[in-house]
Structures are given as C-alpha cells and as structure tokens.
Amino acid sequence: MLMDLSSFDPEELTIAVGTTVTFVNDAPFDHTVTEGTGGQAAEDPIIDDEVAVDGSTDFTFEEPGVYDITCRIHPSMQLTITVEG
C-alpha cells in the first residue's frame, strides 16, 4: 500500500482476515495511517501511526469488517479496507 503526494494507492482494498498490510510513505512529507475519516481519528482507532518520509508501518487485520483509513495531516486522503473472514 503506497502513500503518495495526496492519496493512498489503491484507495480500496479487499483482504482476508489475518492479512498484514504494509503502508509505505513514498511522498516527500510525513503522513499518518489512522482509522477514521476526513482527517479525524475514529473513537479508539485500531491504528493511528505516523509514517515519516521513506518510512513504513505494518498492521495485521484480525477482525472481519470494513475499515476507513485516513491521514490526519492530509484529510482528503481516504482508504477503505474490506476484511473478509
């Protein structure tokens, strides 16, 4: 999963329960990987990691469901992950 100048790539992802997703920051500035929408974290987010330039973070999705992911720094960045179990 890439994070570029202003988006997640791809913006939709379907995976199986237990899959680890690696988020790679390919932009020249920091991003976050945050469960939520519009730059706002969900209440008690399952992930809320800062990712520096050329950095990455991994997360394993253990529960089925639909997860909205945003960047707290760039609110227009949005990703939907569907976890099938």
* Domains identified in the chain and CATH numbers: 2-84 (2.60.40.420)
Give strand pairing partners of 66. 82
27-66 as b/e: b if 16+ CB within 10 A:
beeebbbbbbeebeebeebebeeebeeeebbebebeeeee
| pLDDT grade for 79, boundaries at 50, 70 and 90 | very high
Interval 43-71: pLDDT, tens: 999 999 999 999 999 999 999 999 999 99
Task: Answer yes or no: is pLDDT of 1 > 90.
Answer: no
pTM: 0.94
Q: Are 3 and 71 spatial neighbours (Cβ–Cβ below 8 Å)?
A: yes
